[in-house]
Amino acid sequence: MIPRRMRRPLYFTLALGFFTALYAIYKEDVYIWFCENEGNAASCTVVGMINEKNKYLDSARFYYQKSCNGEYALGCFHLGEVQALLGDKEASALSHKSACSMGHVSSCR
């Protein structure tokens, strides 16, 4: 039997582990939901980053474009980077220009 004073920290630790595991499993789904249903541009950028990390560049470009359309500077910057990787230099320059005008200093080159 676990002493009473030890139960609360144990339950807290178990709950924390459970929710951490759920987050790890459903992380991308949560961000996709916020991007598509709530129009959260930052969430679109996170989904784009996840897709870019996994080498799904077309999907990353789609979510970065949604983020940039939502006037999120970091999304425009990443959109420009992916467009450059895909060989679309003109679109990349335009995306970086948009990010620069929104205040993303690294895009002002």
Three-state SS string over 17-28 comes to HHHHHHHHHHHH
Q: Which residues of the chain have pLDDT under 50?
A: none
- CB of 63 within 8 A of CB of 71? no
Torsion of CA 75, 67, 72, 34, to 10 degrees: -120
The structural domains of the chain, ordered by start, are: 27-107 (1.25.40.10)
Q: Counting Cβ atoms within 10 Å, is residue 4 exposed (0-12), middle (13-18) or buried (19+)? A: exposed
| Residue 1, pLDDT score | 65
* Residue 75 CB neighbours (<10 A): 29
| Residue 23, pLDDT score | 82
Q: Counting Cβ atoms within 10 Å, is residue 62 exposed (0-12), middle (13-18) or buried (19+)? A: middle
The mean predicted confidence, pLDDT, of the chain is 92
pLDDT in tens, 54-83: 999 999 999 999 999 999 999 999 999 999
